[in-house]
Structure formats: C-alpha cells, structure tokens
Amino acid sequence: MFGNDRFHSRKYLKKSYTGKSIIKTAGKRYLKIPKLGYVKTSKNGVLQNTKIKRYTVLLEPTGKYYLSLQVEISEPEKYSLTGKRVGIDVGVG
C-alpha cells in the first residue's frame, strides 16, 4: 500500500521528557542535565554564550536518544561609528 496514510496505535508513540530545570555547560562539548548527568553534544562551543530555557529528551523506537534545546541568545554588541572611511579590496579585475 503505497501513497496512503498509515495510522499507528498509541502504544508506538515516541517517549519524551520535557524539563525547565537549569542546564549548565561543562566545557565546550558537555551539558549537565538534571536526572541524566553529563551529556556529550555534537556541537563544539556553540552553547557557550546562551541561556538554555527548556529541553526535551526523546527516545526513538530505534533506541537512540536525542536532545533538543530551546535557547535564548543575547543581542550582539553594536559598534559605535567612528566617522572614518574604510576601503575594501575585493580583488576583482
């Protein structure tokens, strides 16, 4: 049966846990999550200057765990205008 929707029963739903607790970054690639301990991330240093608001731990039917994060990023620093001119050589020609 290709092309038709398949409806699954409720017993095959994905298992997940959502939390609002404080998550701390431990180094560049590790997060300390309550009830789980230290978790290694696939990103290197991306979460250094962020505030983690909420997290969801998801267990897939294949047995793999996934962690999704909702983060708050601070606005980047704005530079003051100096009034000086800047020349850029793009190397065209």
Q: How confident is the model at residue 90 (pLDDT cuts 50, 70, 90)?
A: confident
> What phi and psi, each to the nearest 5 degrees, are found at residue 45?
75, 10
CA dist 18 and 40 (Å) reads 18
What's the pLDDT at 3?
A: 57
- Least confident stretch, 11-15, 64-68, 71-75: 11-15
Structure tokens at 78: 């704005």
Q: How confident is the model at residue 5 (pLDDT cuts 50, 70, 90)?
A: low
CA dist 9 and 69 (Å) reads 28
